[in-house]
Structure 1
Amino acid sequence: MTTDSSVLSAFAPTGKLRASINLGNPILANKDTVTGEPVGVSIDLARELGKRLGLPVDLVVFDTAGKSVEAVGDERADIGFFAIDPVRGASIAFTAPYVLIEGFYMVRNDSPIQHNNEVDSANTRVAVGKGSAYDLFLSRELKHAEIIRAPSSPAVVQTFLEQELEVAAGVKQQLESDAAKTPGLRLLGERFMVIQQAMGLPKSRGNAAADYLRRFVEEMKASGFVADALQRHKIGGASVAPVS
């Protein structure tokens, strides 16, 4: 993959590649327990892209997907790692997905809800992470249930418990982790969506930069880079997206 000066300037008008990192999705990024520094698949991809472009990488860290998206949409960051969604696509050019993550519902053990199609009821309140991919998706899909927005994805189960809501929605891995700490909770038996995690950059940066980023993601999938990163960071509940 060759890079000319116009592509470099499109990616990094400040001279640094500013990568928007969302710590609200543990499949993509976490804080190292020893150093406190961001680590994860998205950080590995950001640094590899910077290496390919010959640019220093500046990690711009946020605690929610919504804030991370806004930073790229407002051009306070140059690239980001998000779930593909048409609302976000108004200002962001997405690659094909590099990772697929499952979205699940969780309820209490004594809940009468057994299947996904029972969630969309007028008597049901569903906790979601504000601005998350599943918030955007469920805001379109649920016609009768009330959506209650937690401040962030990691706060969904806490909100669900504190407000005595009927359902919590989120990334399967996050819900399973929270359920392991709190007796009396169970996940429903099937996913309600597949979250397609992709890279993206502001549409204003032009087609050449967007095409470069798309080709980069395809190479990272095909070469095994993404699979290796998932294994290295001990990430379960996610799979490498097919090469386009």
Structure 2
Amino acid sequence: MTSPEIVRAFAPTGRLRAAINLGNAVLAGRDATGAAKGVSVDLARRFAERLGVAIELAVFETAGASVDAVAREAADIGFFAIDPLRGEAIRFTPPYVLIEGCFLVRQDSPLQANEEVDRPGIRVVAGKGSAYDLFLSRELKQAQLVHAPSSQAVLQHFLDSGAEVAAGVKQQLEKDAAPLGGLRLLPGRFMVIRQAMGCARSRGEAAAAELARFVEEMKASGFVADALARHGVQGASVA
């Protein structure tokens, strides 16, 4: 039984407000009716059940908007890629899913390896505020980082701008590029994106510890693996 103090820490309004980011197709999307679905939605519902409160989904198109909602306590929990900049306002659980960040280029591009991307004259398109955008903003020393408004807009922005490289979650890039042809992923990955749950630091140590316990239990019980299979997610692994 979850203590009343923990329930109040997570659901001060009487409902658990969960920020769902549609910017990562591996973890969330919309069903035929337009309602949010996915691994993160399943975890949010299960955590609300654990607390004994109703769930309220706050759906966002970008990771940045989702992070902001939790940081300013407009939402109680969220689902994020772990990043030190985000960690200034949000306390993360251990990761529950690992996802690959990859580079995509045109078929005739001279680039053949991830290590060749960080060069003068190379423009890399990334979704503004995404985990891989934050990572590349620190890691790229010579290439120019160009921002698309969202992760879903990366490929079109890459094509329209004539940039040399698109960066993103492997599954999203593969899905968006498949109908077009003439594009290819560079072998391997440039980063591993560690997906976690999180709450505002202001919710306190006990709340953060409870959320971390929940994530570890969901991994150990097989809930996360089952959710990935149920939603047909391929290429992502349980952390």
Length-normalised TM-score, structure 2: 0.99
* In structure 1, distance between residues paired with 2:107 and 2:34: 36
* In structure 1, distance between residues paired with 2:219 and 2:3: 24
Displacement, 1:182? 1.1
**Paired residue for 1:26?**
25
* In structure 2, distance between residues paired with 1:134 and 1:9: 34
* In structure 1, distance between residues paired with 2:164 and 2:3: 54
**Paired residue for 1:8?**
7
2:131 pairs with one of 115, 130, 133: 133
1:79 pairs with one of 37, 56, 77: 77
CA RMSD of aligned residues (A): 0.6
* In structure 2, distance between residues paired with 1:111 and 1:26: 26
**Paired residue for 1:179?**
177
**Paired residue for 1:109?**
107
* In structure 1, distance between residues paired with 2:18 and 2:40: 9
Query: 1:1-244 residue pairs with structure 2 within 5 A?
Result: 2-32=1-31, 34-241=32-239
Counterpart residue identity of residue 85, structure 1:
D
Tell me, which stretches of 5 or more residues in structure 2 are unaligned?
A: none
Displacement, 1:16? 0.7
Counterpart residue identity of residue 24, structure 2:
N
Displacement, 1:194? 0.3
SS for the counterpart of 1:181 is coil
% identity of equivalent residues: 66
* In structure 2, distance between residues paired with 1:35 and 1:108: 35
Cα deviation digits, residues 41-77 of structure 1 (max 9, x gap): 0000000000010010100000000000000001000
SS for the counterpart of 1:126 is strand
Counterpart residue identity of residue 185, structure 1:
L
* In structure 2, distance between residues paired with 1:112 and 1:35: 43
